[in-house]
Structure formats: structure tokens, C-alpha cells
Amino acid sequence: MSASGQQAGDLRRPGSVVPQRVKQSLRAILNPVVRLAMALHLTPNGVTVIGLGLTIVASVLVGTGWLLVGAALLAVGSVLDAVDGALARAQGGGTPFGGFFDSTLDRSGEAILYIGIGAWLLRTQADPILPVILLMVALAGSFLVSYAHARAQGIGLAADVGLAPRTERLVLVIVGVALAGLGWTAGLIGALAIIAALTIVTVVQRIRHVWNLTQAAASESKEN
């Protein structure tokens, strides 16, 4: 099998927390939203900016204690995060700048959201040291997951494998914020702990995946 063939098969790619069939079903639900965006003549980049704006507002709400409202806005923002890519495909495919712009704003939104959560923890917890450390590990791990993916792309490989890509992390943090808004702060702290652990595992999975791909390519090169 060629290196490209092994990339297609992804060498027993480690699956994410959310099964692929569930993701495909959710994408199908987005079709009416995509059609609405097209009717409003929105561009994928415009949808990306709107999504970041919602995330900023939601983060401010979370930081000031309006957790349930913030979680609801984050959920809407997460839908828009999926819509921009679907809209780009519906309009004939994305552009290199569009992909760069989307990824950059996604990372920005993730950082802003964690700042909002951190502000709330510092304001409300008698001893915020452990929760804030978990938050920092979760944020650092999230950025490393994205960095590993970007660096793999830089050498021509795909590394979108692992337990906790962005969608899974976003779902966990929204659920955690909502639980805290309902009075169960341990739910948010637990979500941060899970994200921290899963992102570390995901980075290791991506490193191993890229290693396997490069070793397979090197073996094929020697055989030829």
C-alpha cells in the first residue's frame, strides 16, 4: 500500500469521543441553517466573524456570572462554527485564506472562552487554584492538539485523529458551564479535568499517527 493509501486508511485512526455517524447526522441538521445563510447572502468568513462575536459576548456573560445565558450563546456559536465550513462547501469550496481565517478565529474564541471561565472561577471560588490549573492545562492541551494538526499539514500529512478535537472539547465545556449555571460547580471543574486529560491523550495520538505515516512512507521509499 502506498503512503497516500495509508493516509486514506489512516492506519487505524483513533476515533474521537463523538462517533462519526453522530457528526454526520448533526451536519444534516445544519442544512436549513446553511440555506438561510445563503439566502441572507452571508459569506463563510462573515459567519466565522459572527461566531467569534457570539463567543466573545458569551465569555463576558460567563465571566460575570450569567452562566446559563452564556452556555446558550456558546451553543449557538458552535452551530455557526459548523455552518461556515458547510456554507463554503455549498458555495463551491473554501479558499486557503478562509481555512486560515477560520482556524485563527477558532483558536481566538477558545482562548477568550477560557479567560471568561477563569474570571468566573477567580471571582466565585474560595480556593480557585486547582480549577484554574485544570483550566490552564485544558487550554494548553487544546492549543497543542490544534498545533499538532497544523504542523502535520505543514509536512503534507493529515492528523485530525484523536479523542478530543475541537467539537468534542466545545461540547464538554458548554455542558460544564451549563452545569455550573445550574449550581453544580463540580460539573464545570470535572469538564475541565476531562478536557485536560483528553487533550493530552489526543496530542500523543496525533504524534503517534504522524510517526506511523512517516515510517510507512520511509519504508515504501526504501522498497522503491
pLDDT at residue 27, rounded to an integer: 64
Mean residue pLDDT across the chain: 85
Mean pLDDT confidence for 70-90: 84
All cell numbers assigned to 177: 458551564
In a domain, 11, yes or no: no
Question: At 9, is the pLDDT very low, low, confident or very high (cuts 50, 70, 90)?
Answer: very low
CATH of the domain at 95: 1.20.120.1760
In a domain, 58, yes or no: yes
In a domain, 9, yes or no: no
pLDDT single digits (tens) 40-59: 888 888 888 999 999 999 99
Rounded-to-integer distance, Cα 199 and Cα 205, Å? 10
Q: How many domains does the chain have?
A: 1
Whether the pLDDT of residue 13 is over 60: the answer is no
pLDDT single digits (tens) 95-107: 888 888 988 999 9
pLDDT at residue 114, rounded to an integer: 97
In a domain, 8, yes or no: no
Q: Which comes out higher in pLDDT, residue 32 or 213?
A: 213
Q: Which domain holds residue 132?
A: 16-219
All cell numbers assigned to 143: 492549543
Whether the pLDDT of residue 5 is over 60: the answer is no
Q: What is the DSSP string of 167-214?
A: HHHHHHHHHHHHHHHTT-HHHHHHHHHHHHHHHHHHHHHHHHHHHHHH
Catalytic residue annotation: 106
In a domain, 2, yes or no: no
184-198 core/surface letters (b: 16 or more CB in 10 A; e: else):
ebebbbbbbbbbbbb
> Chain centroid to CA 22: how far?
16
Containing 128, the helix (H) or strand (E) segment is none
Q: Give the largest CA-CA distance in the chain.
A: 64
Helix axes 129-154, 96-124, angle to 10 degrees: 170
Rounded-to-integer distance, Cα 168 and Cα 138, Å? 13
pLDDT single digits (tens) 104-153: 999 999 999 999 999 999 999 999 999 999 999 999 999 999 999 999 99
Model confidence, pTM: 0.84
pLDDT at residue 14, rounded to an integer: 53
Contact 110, 140 (CB under 8 A): no
Whether the pLDDT of residue 176 is over 80: the answer is yes
In a domain, 3, yes or no: no
Question: At 158, is the pLDDT very low, low, confident or very high (cuts 50, 70, 90)?
Answer: confident
Instruction: List CB contacts of 50: < 8 A, sequence separation 6 or more.
Output: 42, 80
Between the CA of residue 162 and those of 106, 112, 127, 178, what are the distances in Å?
18, 24, 33, 25
pLDDT at residue 11, rounded to an integer: 39
pLDDT at residue 167, rounded to an integer: 85
In a domain, 164, yes or no: yes
Lowest mean pLDDT among 4-8, 21-25, 90-94: 4-8
The 3-state DSSP class for residue 94 equals coil
